[in-house]
Amino acid sequence: MTIKTPICAFDAKTGILCPKCEARLKGGHISELDVEASIKLTKLAEKVPELSRVSLVRAQSVDGVYVLTFAAGNLNILRSNPSIHKSIEDAMGGKTMLIEAESTDRKMLEDLFYPIRILTVNVVWLPDGSKLTKVIIPGRKTERFPLDVELIKKVVKAVRNIDLLVEFERASYAKAL
């Protein structure tokens, strides 16, 4: 048992593509990054058994950050041990965000903000007919807020073409005074 990836398990183990996967790469059905991530995560699955229960759907790179899409329901498995995400980042060689395929926009946003909870997600229509997706985070923003909101905005734009607006439930500390 090993992780399922966009390429054959054998190819992912050996690092050499069979003619069928090579043709899918040449035809643009899979990317170089899909192949690279498949090989790296297959190697990691030897040390991290939870990976054998998940399926990598695709790998993307947004603004120097890796975005890995796994099959629906897989993130619960990957979050069962907090060290797994770190191991994936070490294997990939950089910051990595994890999302699920075929998820709703709200679920994808919850996955990108994880472990920060989202209060509400609303769609806001602008006068010119374009729309923004507004996320409200509970509480107020503090200096310890662990996420790079600008980066999340770039990722949702690249992955789902969503224009994101992020607000906090309460005004900042200085304003509240």
Pull the structure tokens for residue 142: 């503090």
Residue 104 corresponds to which amino acid? T
Tell me, residue by residue from 136 to 175, as one string, x for binding to Zn ion by CB under 5 A and - for no binding. ----------------------------------------
- Three-class SS of residue 73? coil
Measured from the CB atom, is 23 or 119 closer to Zn ion? 23
Residues between 12 and 51 with contacts to Zn ion, criterion CB under 5 A: 18, 21
Give the total of residues touching Zn ion (CB under 5 A).
4
Closest approach, Cβ 101 to Zn ion, in A, equals: 20
Closest approach, Cβ 12 to Zn ion, in A, equals: 8
Using CA of residue 133, residue 138, residue 140, residue 145, what is the dihedral sign? negative
Measured from the CB atom, is 14 or 83 closer to Zn ion? 14
Phi-psi region of 11 (alpha: psi -120 to 50; beta: other; left: phi over 0): alpha
Tell me the residue length of the chain: 177
Q: Distance between CA 141 and CA 175 in Å, rounded?
A: 11
Residue from 3, 11, 37, 166 that binds Zn ion (CB under 5 A)? 11
Measured from the CB atom, is 8 or 158 closer to Zn ion? 8
Q: Distance between CA 11 and CA 13 in Å, rounded?
A: 5
Pull the structure tokens for residue 6: 């966009």
Among 8-16, 93-101, 111-119, 143-151, the segment contacting Zn ion (CB under 5 A):
8-16
Closest approach, Cβ 42 to Zn ion, in A, equals: 12
Pull the structure tokens for residue 57: 């759907």
Pull the structure tokens for residue 85: 């995400």
Among 10-18, 43-51, 71-79, 81-89, the segment contacting Zn ion (CB under 5 A):
10-18
Binding residues for Zn ion (CB under 5 A): 8, 11, 18, 21
